[in-house]
Chains A and B, each alone.
Chain A
Amino acid sequence: DAGITQSPRHKVTETGTPVTLRCHQTENHRYMYWYRQDPGHGLRLIHYSYGVKDTDKGEVSDGYSVSRSKTEDFLLTLESATSSQTSVYFCAITLDRDYGYTFGSGTRLTVV
């Protein structure tokens, strides 16, 4: 999607290894979000950010950490990947409250 890029698009990693996913935006939007999408669970919020160095937990934050040192970048880290973290991860951005989100194209992560 224009203005928001996720990297990598696909990754296979081994259990116990650290993994970092990157979300980069060029829209200068304040709010950024990380979701995971799994069959039977839909989209679930992991962490979100409402500004540089301001982050908070979502409903499925265990095992994940985030950082936002610049407006344009929001990083999601799995400190020690587990098979239960195999999923498709989406980043989203929004300008302000009561605006729809713009989603990235997703990162498919497989933990073996």
Chain B
Amino acid sequence: GESVGLHLPTLSVQEGDNSIINCAYSNSASDYFIWYKQESGKGPQFIIDIRSNMDKRQGQRVTVLLNKTVKHLSLQIAATQPGDSAVYFCAENISNAGNMLTFGGGTRLMVKP
């Protein structure tokens, strides 16, 4: 069963295109950021993380960009596939304030075949 927000922002892309999902974080003291993917009926799954001493990090088909000046985080997915359809959450943490992540509201990615 689907359990995420009914009125999430939605990004619809064609299979094979690149996807960019954006996130504005709230706390300028945050120094650790994570992107999660949540498929229907499942728990959030770790995709990629980045620390504040970096502005870019790449994984397999995914890239996270961090702009601390404007408190913005983005997730780029290359050659989007139907299996990428899910809700994507960003999360932020302040290291010296304990290990408690604060999650954004999420974006639903829909991939059209």
Interface positions of A (Cβ within 8 A of B): 1, 31, 33, 37, 39-45, 48, 50, 58, 88, 90, 92, 94, 96-106, 108
Contacts and interface: CB of A to CB of B under 8 A. Distances in A.
Given A31-B99, A42-B89, A42-B104, A101 B46 contact: yes
B6 interface: yes
Given A37-B3, A40-B7, A97 B44 contact: no
A40 to B, nearest CB: 5
Interface of B: 1, 3-7, 32, 34, 36, 41-46, 49, 51, 89, 93, 95, 98-101, 103-106
Given A41-B5, A106-B43, 10 more contacts: A1-B43, A40-B7, A42-B89, A42-B106, A43-B44, A43-B103, A50-B98, A103-B45, A106-B42, A108-B1
Main secondary structure of the interface of B (DSSP, over half): loop
Nearest to B32: A98
A5 to B, nearest CB: 11
28 contacts: A31-B99, A37-B4, A40-B5, A40-B6, A40-B7, A42-B4, A42-B5, A42-B89, A42-B103, A43-B44, A45-B100, A50-B98, A88-B3, A90-B43, A90-B44, A97-B95, A97-B99, A98-B32, A98-B51, A98-B99, A101-B34, A101-B46, A102-B46, A103-B36, A103-B45, A104-B43, A105-B42, A105-B43
